Structure formats: C-alpha cells, structure tokens
Structure 1
Amino acid sequence: MSTVPYKVPHLAVEELFASPVRIGASISPDGTRIAYLAPWRERLNVWVEGIGSTEQARCVTADDNRSVHVYHWTDDPRWLLYEQDGDGDENWHVCRVDLENPEAEAVDLTPFAGATAVGFEMMVSRPGKALLHLNHRNPVEFDLYEADIATGELKMLAQNRGQVAGLMYTPNGDMYAQVWRSDGAIELVQWDSATGERRPVAKFDGSDYPLGINPFQLTTDGTGVWIGSNRDSDHTRLARLDLATGEETEVDSHPDLDLDTRSSVFPTLPSALILDRRTGGLLGVRYLGERQVIHALDPHFAAVLANLEQLSDGDLGAASSDESGQHWVVTFTHDRDPGATYSYDHSTGKSRLLFRPYPHLDPEALAR
C-alpha cells in the first residue's frame, strides 16, 4: 500500500510579510460604527463603516506619506483622533477628524514643531476632554495639558518642574506626580503646581521599576490608583494604592504569573487592565506566561469573557465594547491566524468573523 506524501504549499517570503488588508478594529462608544486600519495609497489609514446600516466603509484619514498606527474614538461619535509623527522623527501629534464632515481637513490639536505628545487619555469624568503631556515648552520636560476635543483648545494644568516622569489629574482637581530621585527611587507625591510644594504619598525602589510604575491607572472615584506592585512578592500583581495614606491593598494576583505589562514598551499592545468604557471601572486583568490568562473582576464581563474565549484558540488581544457593554469587537493573538477579528453581541449571543488581516495565508499551511 503506497501513500502520497503531503505536499507543503509554496509560500513566498513576500506573502508571509505582506501588509494586512485590515487590522486594529474597534467599536464606537454608541455601537453604530467600527473603525480599523487599512491601506490607502499604499499606507495604512483609518477607515470607518456602519454596523447594521447602509453606511459604506470610507477612509477618514489621508496620509500617503506614513502609515497611521494609533487612533482613538472619543465620547462624542462625531470626533475621531489619530496620532502621527513627521517622517519618522517620533514627534507625535494628535489630530482630529470630523466624521460628520468628510470634506473637512484633519485638525492638529498639538501644532508645535519639534514637540511630541505622549500619555493621551480620555477622561470619563470630563466628557469631551482629554489629558496629554507636551514638551513644546522644554524638550526634556513634559507639561500636563487638557485638550477640548471639539474646540481644539489646550489648557495647561501643570508645568513640569523637572525630575517628573508623569503627572496625574484627579476628578476633584488634585495633582499627583511620579518623581525620579537621584538615588534611583521613584516617589509618588501630591503636587501643588502653583507653589511646587510636594506631599510624599509612597516610595518605590527604582531597581524594581526600571520603566516606571506600570500599570498606573486612576481609580474611578479618584481616591486611589491601580498599580502593578511586587512588594513582598516575586510576581507583579495588581494593587490599589490609596492616594491619601499611601497604603497598598492587593486587588488581584496570579500564583505563577506576572501582570502583562508589555504595553509599557509597545503601546499598540493592550493594557494589563481591561476597563469599562462608560465608567472606567475595572473589568479584568491580564497575566502573561507562555500563554495569556485573564482574570475577570466583574460578573457581567466574566460572562462576556467566557463567550469571547470560545471564538478562537488564540489569546484575546484588543477588546472594545460600546458603552452598554453588550456589543464587542475583539482580536486574537494566534500563531497561525494572527489578528483574526470578531464581533460579538452579548444580548443575543451571536458572533461573526469580521475579517482576517492576512486572508491570503492559510492557517493550515503554517507551523504551530
């Protein structure tokens, strides 16, 4: 009895490393649209299309020089933001697109030559506003600004007085800063931006936090921060740091794995914390070993997660939902089907494959 050997399909290197046809999808806060990155004039740009409507896919950015890789929905479905630098200089600007006026040109919200914007964050407690750090006053010092998305107005909230790695603004107007000391330690201080007076809150050994404290996310009530902590432990776990007392309280941990903090180095990767889009509340925590493990910290999200993880045998990557938490768009990290993107409706339990970024690659022809 003879057998015919399996013939491995020919795969050209150009096919293996070809650009994605679509990637980086997310759902709008009102659940009516999805945005994603796809080529326009041989560069990745942001496209938007309607969900369950006649709205056709259209390209909403127009950069034929360099690909766009990062974009942000805002709490107003009219405005979409994206980040772009100039010819690879890594001086990132935040630009606004008007989805209701396709003919309008993009508006640069940070129009300062030679400066870069970092730490962009939408504020759940302040609709229509965003926080960001800018170094246009001094290239080595990043000041904290609040941007009004609709008007483009920039308001300085705090001027960096040096040795400050990050500034944080609470809903009640208090300012906190991570200060890098000369001995390598990191201090969290409450900071009066007018007088420069600092009240110590907590101190961290810098050798344990070479890239700073990550994650470092303000809690919904503004009285604490969720941090990655390894105090008295060999593993980085999630803790809540009280901003009044500096006391740490463990929120969640894994017996064998550390928090997945890769986003501190690669911002395009998802954060260790999965947050509620409407409230900013904590839904889940990512840990990373050979494979990812997600702990659900919210009953509703636990039910959602159980169904999402049935969509693929890969690891859940980027996940976005509308403000109701019912409609989701998710991608998966996978060895043979990278970036496969699905939509899921928790109210009906229905899901569907939206797209595969590399449809020309047969997962069955690739090595596990």
Structure 2
Amino acid sequence: MKRHLTMSSLLWSGLALALALPLAAAETKAPAAQAKKSQLPPLIDRDKFFGNPEIAAAQLSPDGKWIAFLKPYKETRNIWVKKVGEPYAKGHLITADPKRPIPAFFWSRDGKQILFVQDKDGDENFNVYAVDPAAPAAPGKDVPEARNLTAAKGARAMIYAVPKADPDTIYVGLNDRDAAWHDVYKVKISTGERTLLRKNTERIAGWMFDKQANLRLALRTTEKGDTEILRVDPEGFTKVYECSVFESAAPVNFHKDGKRVYLETNKGARDLTELVLFDPATGQEAKLESDPKGRVDFGSAIFSDLTDDLIATVYQDDRTRIYWKDKAWEADYKLIQKKLPGGEIGLASMTADEQLVMVTSYSDRDPGSRYLFDRRTKKLSLEYVSREDLPRQHMVAMQPIRYKSSDGLEIPAYLSLPKGVPAKSLPLVVVPHGGPWARDGWGFNSLAQFLANRGYAVLQPNFRGSTGYGKKFLNAGNKQWGDLMQDDITWGVKHLVAKGIVDPKRVGIMGGSYGGYATLAGVTFTPDLYAAAVSIVGPSNLLTLLETIPPYWEAGRIIFHERMGNPNTPEGKKQLERQSPLNSAAKIHTPLMVIQGANDPRVKKAESDQIVIALRDRGFPVEYLCAPDEGHGFARPVNNQAMFAAAETFLAKYLKARHQEGGKPDVMKRLPEITVDPKTVVLAKKADAASVSVPKPVAKPTAGTFTYAGTMAMGPRSMAISMVRTVKEEGGTWVVTDTAKLPGGEAVDTTTMAKDTLAPLKRQVKQGPVVIEMAFDGGKATGTMAMGGNAKPFSIDLGGGIYADGSGAEDALACLPLAEGYAVTFRNVDLQRQKVQLKQAKVLGQEELKVPAGTFKAWKVELTSAEGDPGTTTLWVDTASRKVLKTVATGPQMGGAVVTVELQN
C-alpha cells in the first residue's frame, strides 16, 4: 500500500525536516535552577531530543522475512538489516558512510536490493544507489559494494516510479544534459543499465507512469506560470488539463481501470482542493471528495498496491483525519487504535500480500514507537520505542490556537507551553516554518519540546501563504513577504502578550529557510518586538535569492515571480528591495545569530555573509556559524548538535532562560570550528559594472569554415559532440555561425558583429522548439524568446556596451591584445536571468598545443565570471592566426559536465 501525497512543490521547506531530524547531541549536567525555574521539569539533555536514535525508519521486505532500518555507525545514520523476529542488536551493517547520514531508503519490489539516495556535503545533487543486503562485504570493507545507478556528477536524480509490473526497474529523471530539466531514464537495478526514454526539450517539470510502467502523463509550467497536464503520446504531447498560476492541479495515481487518473485540483471556483477522477482521453472530470468538514484542502490518498483500490483519504486539520473506503482496513485500523489509544496511528511499510504491516504510533508528547501488525492473527507486537530514554512525562501538549492578524484574517497556529509554571509572563520563541508554501502540523516536534523544556512558550504560526487551508488563504500571501505575512507572525506575538501568557520583553524568533527570512524581517521591520533572533539559512536579499535559485527549479521561476514579486519589472524590483532585510539592516538592534551551510544550493552562503557584513560594518554585534560540509540545514550530527548548543546559549542569554552548559567532546570541539569571526567575512569581489568599458580588438577574425569535435563528459560517461563554425565578412559586418551537434540535438547560434569593434549587433539562437532573436541597440538588448511559435518579448538594460557574446564570443576574445598577464572585464547578456553579467578574460601564459589540425604556439586564456559565479571556460588561441584551437568548458548550466572540443582542420 502506498501513501500518495500532493505533488505541489514546497521549495523551501527543507529546513523544517532538518530541525526535526534526530541528530547527535551533548550529555552534561544542568545548571542550578533559579527560584521560578525550579518548578520546571528537570533540564533534559539536548542529546535526547536531537541525538541519533538507536533505531529509526524500519521497513519490511516485500516477502516479510527481513527488516531494514537506520542505526548509527561511527555516529552517522546508516542502513542495517535483520531477520523478522530477531532483536535489532543482531542486525548487520550494509552501508558505512562515516560522514553523511543516509536520508532515505526503500526495498526494491522483488526485495533483492535496497535503494537509497545520497548527496555530497548538502549540495542536494542526489544520486540513487543500490546495495544487495545478502551480498558479502566488499574486499577491504565492512559492507557490500553500493552501486551508483544514476552516476550523475553535479546533477540531481529524481525517482519517478518503482513499478510493480517490472520489479528490477526504476524510472528516474536526470538533469545532467540540461541543468534545468530532467530527462527520463529506465534503469535496470541489478545491472545498472540505463536507457533514455524521453529527452526533455519541452520544459516538463514532472512525469507519471501507469500501473504497467507506461509513461502516460507529464506536467509542464508555462511561461505564464500556469500548470498544464499533458498526455504523453508516441508522437508528442496533448494538453488535457490546465489551471492558472494561482491554482493547482496534479495527478495522484492511476485508477485500476488503467484509463482514468485520480487528480487533486482547486481549479475554478473551488477554494479547497478536492479529489476528482479525470479521464485524459475525454477530459471528463468527476468529483470524488473534498473535506467533509469544509475546513482544509484534500490532503492525501492511500491506495492498495495489491488491488489498486483507494483505501482511505487523509486531511490535515488541527489534527489528522482519516476517512476509510475499505471496511476490512477500517476494522483493522480501529482495532489498532483501541490497542494504542490517544495517539496518531500511521501505516508504514508492509509485505507484498499486505498481511504484515509496520505500524507507527505517536503523539505531540511522544516521538513514537513501531509495531508489527499481523492482519491474519490480529496480533500487534512492539518492534522498538523511538528515543526510549526521552522522559515522556516531561513533554508538553501542542495546542491548536487561532488569532486575528492585522487585517482581520484568522491565522491557525500551534502553541506549546512549558510544564510546571503558570502560563503567565513567559519567555517566547516564535518558530516560523520554512517554505513558505508549507505548513506546521500536530505531532511530536523536537525543537518545540526542547525549547519548552528550557522554559519557553513556543508559537508555530501557519501564516498566510501556508498550504492546506485553501486557495484564498494561500494566495493571500502573494507578494506579501515581510508585509502581511510578517504581520501574521507579529500579531501572534501580540495575541499572546495581550492574554498575559508572554512577557513582551522576552520574545525571541528562530527559523530556517523562509523561517530564517521571517526572522531577519522580524528584527528589521519590527525592531522593538524581539529581544533575540536566530536565522538559519535565511535569505537576506530577495533579489539575489531569485537570481541564484537552483537550475532544476527553472519550471517554478515564474511562480516565484508571481508569488514573491517580479524582479524584471520596475515595481517588482522596488517591492523586493523594500522587503529585503539587507536593505534595512540599519534598523536592527536585536541581538542576532546567523547560521549557514556553505554548500546550500537554495539559499546561497552570500545571503548570510551579506547580512553579517552589514551589521558588522555598523558596529553591531552579530554571531555567525557556517559549516563547510552542510547545505540547506545541518544533517551531520556533530554540526547539528553544535548549532543547537550555540543557539540555546544565545537565546538564554538574551531571553533570561535556562540552558544546558557544554556538551560532548566532539560537539564542543566542532563548535569553534564552525564559528566564524564576523571580522573575517568578505563577499566575493564583483566588478563595478559602471566602470567596465568595452575592450578594443587589435586583430580581425580569421574567415573560413572550421570543424571542431570533442566530448561531453559527465562522470564515467562520455558523449561525442561536433560543431562547424563559419566566419565570414558580410555587408560591413562579421557573421559567425556555430552549428553544433549535441546529445540534445542540433543547435544553431548566429551572431552578427560590427566590423571594426566586434561588438555584437544581433543574435539568433535555434534549438529544437526554442528560437531566440535579439538585437543590441541604444544601451538595450531587445528581442523575443519563442517556444513552439509562442513568442515572448524581452528588453534588457545593458548599462554599457557588450563584447564577446554569442557565437562570435571566442573569435572576439581571440582578437584582443593577448599577452602575458593580460586581463580584461566586459559585459555579456545572461538570457536565462534576463540581465547583464560581467565576465573576465585572463591570459594564463603561452603553450605549445597539439590538436588534430596540427601543432601550434597558443595563448591560454581563462574566461570566468567577474561576479563570483561558478564555471570556467579555457581557450587556446593560435598566436599567429588568432584561430581558436581548443576549448574546455564546465559550469552549473551544463550539470557539471566537462565539454572539450578541438580544431579538426
């Protein structure tokens, strides 16, 4: 049985998971309690909240003979396997990563392999690995060899389907050809053989297979941000459903009839998302269900893998509600509830015949336990207790509350109050969730319980823009970052102060991702409200945030512009500048701690660096932690524990609350290693665009037709590529045309340059359905970008002359006064981001170079971003003829691939 959750993209909610992950912590004695604090429960070691659990995430094998689970190995979560019925202490290790915890794993359909995903130091470039749990340890290792099924370097794999009809197969998406879009591959698990099924040249953001492992549907985001559901036909795509950028629709699962599909949608007059049955062949739609209480969106559906029937629907209100469609499953569920009263019951993994089920039970005060339930005998047996040494009797209730915001909108939230003291004049920590298009829910929250144990009240507001409460509530957050969305948080504090629960002089705020932004916005736009703040991977400048979103979020770029603000319009840019905490940093007078992962692909390190610099330069104290081996939130136990140790001490200092002193030796050793002295923080130097002039060439291009050939290498894979370059003088101009044969098809790029200055005058790019026409005139680049005949105009202010852009770029560079130590900065146009970018060319020296066209004396020229962006192109230019002999290029836009071409004639 599967749980099918919504396919909506919660782009920045990653840190909510990171904050709840069970990671390693310290073991020390609590300080002496003051008189009022003596009524609080004992100070619980933070290790019991955030340390590695002894056992976690147990999953049954399809045949019911084995259980795979996570357990620490050298203080890092790895995968272990044991027989059903054996104690967990008898499990044997099958992965042995000493540094990076395994974030997720699952059994293959036939139970012969365990598949897991892994990235490197938080860069989110996940690959999919397979390991045979029955295989012997590899030579010289403690575990069997894990095979990388996707082997993508600098790219992100996405799992689309693990079909029942073909148990040795997994369908994945890879963006190693084009960083913005994922191609679809069929991968044979046992051998790693990979077959390309569909090249993604149509801006497809998601793919869906049917029960027979046929690729049936695709999701596309249009250039307006609308959602299209496409039927995948042999000859192409047929649009069968669409909704606007401010609506949502997504397929959930195929019906057992193989024709219709379960679809969740709020298209049209609907406010709450509902579940419908949709026929892609006829376009007919039949409503199945919406929230019977009319309060929240449709949440998720549970299906039987055995029968393909819909078993239950799930809604996340103040607490979870389940509506059963299958009487046998409902009876078993109610029996389990009777045996485990008071908590939430979840169905986890189960055997292929659905007779042996792993059951979870948890509550707001209990992180949970796992049980095995035999549906034949109705026997329920305990497998293990999560965080068994965490004293449940000292945990607190998570109370759903409601309050009105500044404009009267009702805001749902959760409030956790400390035990043992009256709910009066308490210190408060507000914890806004990430996303922001996500929500907090009821259940055990490690951070909330940790803070409550220290004596804080904890407020978790589901501010406007949060998901699950209907389309109107979600859209009420459009373009409201730092404005009404922030008011929703502010008025939550005011509500608790007015009720006498909270001391207005002891209010703190702590959040990650969007919650980190809300933290910075809180101390910037309401500087008198907070006495302490901790921003974790929080963006400080919304313009630079939008400029640096990962390439694989390209489908959602226009949605960001619609929901956040469009930086390409004067009014949008002005709005985003106003809402950026960095631009109002002078208003901050709240003590601030900033926490960052150096490899974060979502919120770049510069977002934290620049707010730290802004405060430091005005002489305001700021504390800074930055882990060199983390990304969007800390996953390594030692880093995570060091972060919470620092944050706990910081909050206690300014909010006058208790805290735990010290910690385990490895944590206390790590903390100073990731603590950054604000005096040492510098941003990568960027060239001053206003001072950049247009270089002057000293030579002319060499006319003729030149053939280049080489490879595009991605990890162990290498593909042949070729290009023909034609350079000719035409009508008082130079026209350079590059015709390249690439793995993705043929691409033609033609640039017309002024005869004497080699400045580009116009450019045309054709690749598949994409056609770009651009002209340079009067300090602007204007043109159209078309896909399939739908042309969209654009206009880019240049701020000066452009040089070495388009297909004539290399020839224009070759004509500069190249010499030892020569360097020059010039402008290019970044078509993807619709803005000017600065490049720097630098001569590294002179070399003798052998290529198929012969042996030459060549200048070696390195081309990089003058703005600190990644990627490098190296050219070798013949010193005599100025012909380009060889090019080696790499960069994130190529998914980490290295492209090498050499002159053939």
Partner residue, 1:37: 70
Query: Over residues 327-350 of structure 1, what are the superposed CA-to-partner deviations in whole Å (9 max), with x where a residue is unaligned?
Result: 111223421111321111111111
Q: CA deviation at 1:324?
A: 1.8
Q: CA deviation at 1:115?
A: 1.4
1:258 paired with 2:291, answer no
Supply the AA of the counterpart residue of 1:153.
Answer: E
1:167 and 1:234 map into 2 onto residues whose CA distance is 26
1:286 paired with 2:319, answer no
2:49 and 2:263 map into 1 onto residues whose CA distance is 39
Match of 1:296 among 324, 341, 345: 324
Supply the AA of the counterpart residue of 1:323.
Answer: A
Equivalent pair of 2:59/2:106 in contact (CA under 8 Å): no
For structure 2, the 5+ residue unaligned runs are 1-37, 138-143, 398-905
Q: Which moved more, 1:116-125 or 1:140-149?
A: 116-125
Query: Over residues 120-143 of structure 1, what are the superposed CA-to-partner deviations in whole Å (9 max), with x where a residue is unaligned?
Result: 421123232222211111111101
Q: 1:52 to 1:19 in 2, by over 3 A?
A: closer
2:228 and 2:250 map into 1 onto residues whose CA distance is 14
1:165 paired with 2:205, answer yes
Match of 2:264 among 215, 228, 237: 228
1:172 and 1:354 map into 2 onto residues whose CA distance is 34
Equivalent pair of 1:91/1:115 in contact (CA under 8 Å): yes
Equivalent pair of 2:48/2:387 in contact (CA under 8 Å): no
The within-5 A match list for 1:79-158 is 79-103=113-137, 104-158=144-198
1:46 and 1:185 map into 2 onto residues whose CA distance is 41
1:349 paired with 2:390, answer no
Equivalent pair of 2:275/2:298 in contact (CA under 8 Å): no
Query: Over residues 150-194 of structure 1, what are the superposed CA-to-partner deviations in whole Å (9 max), with x where a residue is unaligned?
Result: 12111221111132111223337453211211222211112346x
1:207 paired with 2:246, answer yes
Q: Percentage identity across aligned positions?
A: 30
Match of 1:307 among 335, 342, 360: 335
2:345 and 2:383 map into 1 onto residues whose CA distance is 15
Q: 1:23 to 1:241 in 2, by over 3 A?
A: same
- Kindly name which structure, 1 or 2, has the bigger radius of gyration based on alpha carbons: 2
Query: Over residues 22-78 of structure 1, what are the superposed CA-to-partner deviations in whole Å (9 max), with x where a residue is unaligned?
Result: 111221111111222111111111121111369931121111120002101111122
2:324 and 2:115 map into 1 onto residues whose CA distance is 29
Query: Over residues 270-296 of structure 1, what are the superposed CA-to-partner deviations in whole Å (9 max), with x where a residue is unaligned?
Result: xx2222233443222211101101122
Supply the AA of the counterpart residue of 1:349.
Answer: K
Partner residue, 1:187: 228
- Count residues in correspondence: 349
Equivalent pair of 1:258/1:287 in contact (CA under 8 Å): yes
Match of 2:281 among 226, 241, 244: 244
For structure 1, the 5+ residue unaligned runs are 262-271
1:51 paired with 2:104, answer no
Structure (1 or 2) with the greater helix fraction: 2
Question: What TM-score results when the alignment is normalised by the length of structure 1?
Answer: 0.87
Q: 1:322 to 1:243 in 2, by over 3 A?
A: same
2:176 and 2:126 map into 1 onto residues whose CA distance is 12
Equivalent pair of 2:262/2:277 in contact (CA under 8 Å): yes
Q: CA deviation at 1:80?
A: 0.8
Supply the AA of the counterpart residue of 2:296.
Answer: D
1:83 and 1:274 map into 2 onto residues whose CA distance is 24
Equivalent pair of 1:26/1:330 in contact (CA under 8 Å): no
Question: What TM-score results when the alignment is normalised by the length of structure 2?
Answer: 0.37
Q: CA deviation at 1:302?
A: 1.6
The alignment partner of 2:286 has SS state of strand
Equivalent pair of 1:229/1:238 in contact (CA under 8 Å): yes
1:312 and 1:364 map into 2 onto residues whose CA distance is 16
Partner residue, 1:264: none
Q: 1:71 to 1:172 in 2, by over 3 A?
A: closer
2:132 and 2:298 map into 1 onto residues whose CA distance is 35
Supply the AA of the counterpart residue of 1:16.
Answer: F
Q: 1:341 to 1:173 in 2, by over 3 A?
A: closer
Equivalent pair of 1:215/1:273 in contact (CA under 8 Å): no
Supply the AA of the counterpart residue of 1:299.
Answer: K
Equivalent pair of 2:161/2:209 in contact (CA under 8 Å): no
Equivalent pair of 1:312/1:332 in contact (CA under 8 Å): no
Equivalent pair of 2:165/2:213 in contact (CA under 8 Å): no
